Amino acid sequence: MKAKYSVVSVALVVLALLAGSGLVLAEVVTEHEPWQDQHLQADFQLPTGAVSPEELERIREYGEQLFKARFTREEGAGRPKATQAIIPTKRKRVSEFTFSRTAGLDAAACAGCHNEPKLGGAGDFAANVFVSEGFVNADFDSLDPQFSNERNSNHLFGAGLVELLAREMTTELHQLRQQALQQARRTQQAVKVELRTKGVSYGYLTAEPEGVVDLTALQGIDTDLIIRPFSQKGVFVSLRQFTINAMNQHHGMQAIERFGERWTGEADFDEDGIKNEMNAADISALVAWQASLPPPIQQQPADLKWQQAAARGEQIFHKIQCASCHIPALPLKSLSFTDPGGWDLAGTLRQGEQADAKLSYDFALQTWAKQLKRNEKGEFLIPLFGDLKRHVIADEKVAALGNELLSQRFVERDQFMTSELWGIASTAPYGHRGDQLTLNEIIQAHGGEGRAARDAYLALNDTERSSLIAYLKTLVIE
């Protein structure tokens, strides 16, 4: 039984009264009080299949409502007996406080952190989160980096396009692996193949004739060849997975598809007294809202001097190899977004798992999609300024971005997903900890695989460096 209020919420209280010779049952009906906080809609109808822009807008409205919601205990906020872990994990003891800046709950609403420059945006340093796997030492109350990795909040604009890119690239990588295996089996020779998709190389894979693949030469991707484009670390495959994780970690709102009876044996895993807190429709609405946020744009400055500097800066951006990782645009074949997608694993709704929860919406019908350029193949050019690949970003001499002590989900401590630069002018401060004040600072902090570009940047003269900054300052969230 999902604990929600409908527009006319009715509670039945049965009172047994002794009256005269027999038992009299009285029915007391109470209605929902209009001043009560109410965010979840038990009667929200999620359509299935391909939805029209109008229907998508209705879903988005509900998604935005949930994104802004400051959930109440009656709705399920809080997780007294569950940790922040992505695998349902019990806490050893109930936390003394509902909120905690470290182990969580650390936000009353998604919007509490994702709000710069507007709803769905990034977060100030004040909105940093402390990422812990949540399995051991889940109840840390220290900022000491041995317990958690401190992370700044990313913006979500264009997130649906990012997921679509990752899906297409993952599909191509799996095709490459399959082709290599087929060739190896056919020729009885080992086949080494470069894992290159949309111009991004993820290293090499060697397929042996007996169907075995050697994984030692992969670069910047997990061994299952699934691109996980979300989070600073690149460890979430989809907005749906990210949303389920975040709702539990930050708000203690647990999705049935991960924390429900099927996978935990309990309808109230976090033992807050509320069963089945978020259903598939709630999560789908949140996904729809985030996925269809318009992508950031490159804004032509009104100032002529800025225009000229930005033009020079663009050339420098390429010349000093910033663009080797921050690729200005990646081609996307289709703007059709299905939820759930095809690469999620158990615990996040998968295709075919709940027939009435499969949505499809076409971003091409969104106004913002008209701004997307196309290449000669008709593919949409997604101007994300990224490569959806992880890189080592610190070295011995330039180590500022290697500050973390904990690896996360098998990703080493000094590796991070290339930050997409779209919207960067609107989302200071910078760096995965949000502790680099300016673009100049974050560029200078690049070590590891970014070291050569950083050194080249430092070798520029003041005007050239300023021009590069001028260019980056055109990448805004509208």
Partner 1 sequence: MQALKILLATSACLVAPWLYAEEAKPSLQAAPMDLPVLQDETASSGINQQYTGPWEFFVGGGLAVLDCNQDRMPDVFIAGGEQPAKLYINASQPGQALVFKPQSLELEEQDLKQVTGAYPLDIDNDGFQDLVLLRVGRNILLKGGADCRFTKANKLWSYEGGNAWTTAFAASFEQGQNYPSLAFGNYVDRSAPGSPWGTCHENDLFRPSSKDQPDYHERTALAPGFCALSMLFTDWNKSGELSLRMTNDRQYYREGEEQLWRVPADNPPKLYSRSDGWQRVLIWGMGIAEGDLEGDGFPEYALTSMGDTRLQVLDDEAEEDRPIYKDIAYERQATAHRPYTGEDLRPSTGWHAEFDDVNNDTKLDLFIAKGNVEAMPDFAAFDPDNLLLGQWDKKFYEAGLAAGIALPRHGRGASLHDFNADGLLDLMVVNRKDPVSVFRNLGAKTAQGTQLMGNWLQIELAQHGSNRNAVGATIAIKTGVPSQIRRIQVGGGHASGESGFVHVGLGVAERATIRIQWPDGQWSAEYRVFANQFVLIKKDDPQVRYWYPQ
Chain residues that interact with partner 1, rule: CB under 8 A: 85-89, 133, 135-136, 177-178, 181, 185, 210-216, 222-224, 226, 258, 261-266, 345-347, 350, 352-355, 409-410
Looking only at the bridges linking them, the beta strands covering 359-362 and 49-50 are parallel
Q: Which two tokens stand for residue 44?
A: 């929200």
Q: Which residues contact 315 (CB under 8 A, 6 or more apart)?
A: none
Q: Kindly state the smallest distance separating residue 212's Cβ from partner 1, in Å.
A: 5
Closer Cβ to partner 1, 407 or 440, answer by number: 407
Closer Cβ to partner 1, 99 or 135, answer by number: 135
Closer Cβ to partner 1, 161 or 281, answer by number: 281
Query: Which residues does residue 30 pair with via DSSP β-bridges, in sequence order?
Result: 11
Q: Kindly state the smallest distance separating residue 75's Cβ from partner 1, in Å.
A: 23
Closer Cβ to partner 1, 89 or 284, answer by number: 89
Q: Kindly state the smallest distance separating residue 60's Cβ from partner 1, in Å.
A: 28
Of 332, 270, 336, the closest CA to residue 78 belongs to 270
Q: Kindly state the smallest distance separating residue 163's Cβ from partner 1, in Å.
A: 16
382 — alpha (psi -120 to 50), left (phi > 0) or beta?
beta
d(CA 204, CA 338): 30
Closer Cβ to partner 1, 277 or 435, answer by number: 277
Q: Kindly state the smallest distance separating residue 241's Cβ from partner 1, in Å.
A: 8
Q: Kindly state the smallest distance separating residue 228's Cβ from partner 1, in Å.
A: 9
Sheet of strand 330-332: strand arrangement: 330-332, 380-382, 373-374
Inter-residue contact 220 to 49 (CB < 8 Å):
no
Q: Kindly state the smallest distance separating residue 209's Cβ from partner 1, in Å.
A: 11
Q: 462 phi and psi, to 5 degrees? A: -60, -40
Q: Kindly state the smallest distance separating residue 299's Cβ from partner 1, in Å.
A: 38
Closer Cβ to partner 1, 211 or 458, answer by number: 211
Query: Which residues does residue 230 pair with via DSSP β-bridges, in sequence order?
Result: 236
Of 206, 160, 151, 161, the closest CA to residue 183 belongs to 206
d(CA 169, CA 327): 15
d(CA 36, CA 62): 18
Inter-residue contact 131 to 138 (CB < 8 Å):
no
Q: Which two tokens stand for residue 233?
A: 């670390």
Query: Which residues does residue 332 pair with via DSSP β-bridges, in sequence order?
Result: 380
Closer Cβ to partner 1, 36 or 223, answer by number: 223
Query: Which residues does residue 201 pair with via DSSP β-bridges, in sequence order?
Result: 196
Q: Kindly state the smallest distance separating residue 452's Cβ from partner 1, in Å.
A: 28
Closer Cβ to partner 1, 86 or 164, answer by number: 86
Closer Cβ to partner 1, 384 or 392, answer by number: 392
Kindly compute the dihedral angle of the four CA atoms of residues 331, 334, 338, 343, in this order, to the nearest 10 degrees: -50
Q: Kindly state the smallest distance separating residue 6's Cβ from partner 1, in Å.
A: 25
Residue appearing with tokens 């402390």: 130
Closer Cβ to partner 1, 217 or 364, answer by number: 217
Closer Cβ to partner 1, 86 or 477, answer by number: 86
297 SS3 class: strand
d(CA 137, CA 124): 26
Of 426, 451, 158, the closest CA to residue 291 belongs to 158
On the 0-12 / 13-18 / 19+ scale of CB atoms within 10 A, 11 is: exposed
Q: Kindly state the smallest distance separating residue 266's Cβ from partner 1, in Å.
A: 7
Residue 24: other Cβ atoms inside 10 A:
10
